[in-house]
Amino acid sequence: MIICDLCGQARDCLQKEIDSKEYDICSERWNALAQKLRGKGRVKNRETVFLAAPRIVKEREEEEPGPLPAGPPKIWGGGERPH
């Protein structure tokens, strides 16, 4: 005898796995639950789907690089910035 996780009574229970967890459910409650859920839920669709390879976009070779920034970059030393 095991205590049913649904009704709390000591009965002969079946171990059922739901969402990767095991539950002890008596056949009376399990049949009622199965009947209530009949016709609901989703079909497990386990077919493999292959997606198309991503297209490689070539960069424009004609385009010249833009102008450089107005001055050299500022380098701050010592880990602190002036306020």
pTM above 0.75, yes or no: no
Tens place of pLDDT for every residue, the chain, 83 residues?
789 888 898 988 889 888 788 999 998 888 888 888 888 877 777 788 788 887 776 665 666 666 666 777 777 776 666 66
Residue 53 burial by Cβ neighbours in a 10 Å radius (0-12, 13-18, 19+): exposed
Q: How many residues does the structure list for the chain?
A: 83
- Of 41, 42, 13, nearest in space to 29 by CA: 13
Residue 33: name the closest of 13, 53, 48, 49 by CA: 13
